[in-house]
Amino acid sequence: MKLLRFNGGRVGLVLDGTVRDITAAAGVDPAQWPPVGMVQLIASFGAKREQLLDAARRAPGLDLASVHLETPVPWPNKLIAIPVNYHAHALEMSSPAISKNGGFFVKSASSLSGASDPILLPDLPGRAVHHEAELAIIVGRRGRHVSREDALEYVFGYACLLDMTVRGKQERAIRKSYDTFTPVGPWITTADEVPDPSALRVQLWVNDESRQDAYTRDMIVDVPEIIAMCSSVVTLEPGDVIATGTAEGVGPVSVGDTVTIDISPGVGRMAVRVEQGQGGWNIAIPRDV
Ligand code: MN
């Protein structure tokens, strides 16, 4: 199933290539604040699955191109990210230690945006903002100290994710946490439709130029290991989003560009516009203070 949010917090399923509005059947109030309806839906999804499919079959089909696609989980408990998770990207960033040691960092959840939302570049003259194409894991169950063997049972689904990054020496959290710096979408593909997350191709283009083209089998820390590692430190909650790290080919984006990410088979594709935003923090603080 392909589960999405659209048009101001409505919930949809993609059926026969069209969006079916299942907001009422999902029990989600689009006006709810904080917007945790999708977190609650993910936590109870198993029991509602057939009811939601029924509602989707009865709903009129909306053209995908006619709806505003929003980030699937706007208010997760955590947005976790894995650094440098492909050997070739470690080489291009000269950071073999990071890849060897593994670990994770967190981005602000308020950086999440959707497939129809623009990436807004901060006003930071002389600073490059890079794209990082990544597979997103959406957590389905609460878990702590999850074993590698059990890990995939904790995955609700997968999505395309762009981990946008201001390059430089400031803390990673500030460079990656600008609003709109984590587009996720265009929907969540539930895990039953992605039987092997290590058999995916992750591609990214800037306009028509191919920039990244990698296979998840080349991850240094694979999806089960990521779940095991993260849950050895934090309690994973339904709706948590984990960015699994990028491959080689990262590079700058500019105002007016369109960044397209495609993860196949079955995860999805989204094309996101890059626009000029305001402000930004441009004082270079040494990383080791
Ligand atoms: Mn990244």
CA–centroid distance, 134 to ligand 1, in Å, is 7
CA–centroid distance, 132 to ligand 1, in Å, is 6
pLDDT at 98: 56
Q: Is 156 helix (H, G, I), strand (E, B) or coil?
A: strand
CA–centroid distance, 163 to ligand 1, in Å, is 5
CA–centroid distance, 75 to ligand 1, in Å, is 20
What is the pTM for the complete model shown? 0.95
Residue 286 has pLDDT above 70, yes or no: no
Q: Where are the beta strands (DSSP E) in the chain?
A: 2-6, 10-15, 18-21, 62-63, 69-70, 79-81, 105-106, 112-113, 119-121, 129-131, 133-139, 155-162, 165-166, 182-190, 201-206, 209-215, 241-243, 251-252, 258-264, 268-276
Token pair for residue 168? 């430089």
pLDDT band at 282 (very low <50, low <70, confident <90, very high): confident
Q: Report the alpha-carbon distance of residue 216 to residue 222 in Å, rounded.
A: 8
The contacts of residue 150 (CB under 8 Å, 6+ apart) are: none
CA–centroid distance, 18 to ligand 1, in Å, is 31
Question: pLDDT per residue over 212-248, tens digit each?
Answer: 999 999 999 999 999 999 999 999 999 999 999 999 9
pLDDT at 242: 98
pLDDT (average), residues 149-176 = 96
CA–centroid distance, 243 to ligand 1, in Å, is 7
- The residue among 92 and 145 whose pLDDT is bigger is 145
Which range is least confidently modeled, 50-64, 76-90, 192-206, 250-264? 76-90
Question: pLDDT per residue over 104-161, tens digit each?
Answer: 999 999 999 999 999 999 999 889 999 999 999 999 999 999 999 999 999 999 999 9
pLDDT (average), residues 152-171 = 96
- Give the domains, in start order, of the chain with CATH numbers: 2-70 (no CATH), 79-276 (3.90.850.10)
Cis, bond preceding 76 (omega within 30 deg of 0): no
Rounded to a whole number of angstroms, the CA Rg of the chain reads 18
CA–centroid distance, 261 to ligand 1, in Å, is 14
pLDDT at 151: 98
pLDDT at 84: 86
Question: pLDDT per residue over 41-62, tens digit each?
Answer: 999 999 999 999 999 999 999 9
Residue 264 has pLDDT above 80, yes or no: yes
Q: Report the alpha-carbon distance of residue 58 to residue 53 in Å, rounded.
A: 9
Q: Report the alpha-carbon distance of residue 272 to residue 288 in Å, rounded.
A: 34
pLDDT (average), residues 51-74 = 98
**Cβ atoms within 10 A of the Cβ of 195, count?**
9
Average model confidence (pLDDT) across the chain: 94
Q: Are the C-beta atoms of 44 and 2 separated by less than 8 Å? A: no
pLDDT at 93: 73
